[in-house]
Amino acid sequence: MLEVAGRLRPYLRRAYSVADADPDSGEVEFLVRTIGPGTAALEELAEGSPASLLGPLGNGFSLAGLGPGARVAVVAGGIGAAPFPLLFRALRSKGIRGDLYLGGRNAAELDFRARFDDVGAAETILSTDDGSLGARGFVTEAFARGAAAASPPYARVYSCGPMPMFAALARVVDRAKIPAEFSTEAAMGCGFGACLGCVIPGAEKPFLVSCLEGPILPPDRIAWEKVG
């Protein structure tokens, strides 16, 4: 959770995935695209200016049950790709093959894709809604084609992106019977369950508090028909 001190807006911290980290130097990196006042405040920071960080919070992607030789897929939508270089390095260290499906509305939205050149992705499949980069269409469609042809089959799917993408991907992994972990993008205000701003409709109970129970959740715990 990041905050720039001395600003009236945004009123609360904003949640960001850790895009990279160097344990030796203590540096933590975030991938930010300017959309609203929170991201604008970060963009306007001069080098050396202070920012307040609260974290790490929430859970992480799991590699449990995967061994050397396993094959997994990473499905990322736009800026949702931020946390995956770290995951790819972890997969590579355990001898697990990871394929990247990276999609966005257009080529400009994927201008950060070079971040994945040296992280260990076995294959990178690009797609854009307008066809300006890679295949034309949604990244979920590209993944559905890839999953049908994958040999050996994907043992797990990891994903981060917007909720409409998740809703479509949930149907694909359900039909293919592939276990999945989605890093949900609910709007978090506090990060530790006090504000209840990040609730998601639950399949087995009325709602899930994303910051406490996630943000990474299996898709079968979410009631996609109720997701706005």
What is the reported pLDDT for 191?
87
221 pLDDT exceeds 80? yes
CB 121 within 8 A of CB 98: yes
What is the reported pLDDT for 158?
98
pLDDT level of residue 43 (50, 70, 90 thresholds)? confident
pLDDT level of residue 218 (50, 70, 90 thresholds)? very high
Tens digits of residue pLDDT in 112-159:
999 999 898 999 999 999 999 999 999 999 999 999 999 999 999 999
CB 85 within 8 A of CB 115: yes
pLDDT level of residue 9 (50, 70, 90 thresholds)? low
d(CA 89, CA 121) in angstroms, rounded, equals 9
Max distance between CA atoms of the chain, in angstroms, equals 54
More confident residue, 153 or 9: 153
d(CA 126, CA 136) in angstroms, rounded, equals 9
Residue 33 is which amino acid? Answer: R
Q: Is the pTM of this model over 0.85?
A: yes
What is the reported pLDDT for 38?
79
d(CA 149, CA 147) in angstroms, rounded, equals 5
What is the reported pLDDT for 10?
67
- Residue 186's nearest CA partner among 172, 201, 171 is 201
What is the reported pLDDT for 8?
61
Helix, strand, coil percentages, rounded to 5, for the chain: 30, 25, 50
In this structure, of 37-41, 44-48, 68-72, the range with the lowest mean pLDDT score is: 37-41
Token code pair at residue 21: 């980290």
Residue 227 is which amino acid? Answer: V
d(CA 168, CA 196) in angstroms, rounded, equals 25
What is the reported pLDDT for 55?
86
**Mean of the per-residue pLDDT values for the chain?**
91
Q: Which residue has the tokens 């960001």?
A: 16
Q: What is the DSSP string of 61-115?
A: ---TT--TT-EEEEEEEGGGGTTHHHHHHHHHHTT-EEEEEEEESSGGGGTTGGG
Tens digits of residue pLDDT in 157-190:
999 999 999 999 999 999 999 999 999 978 888 8
210 pLDDT exceeds 70? yes
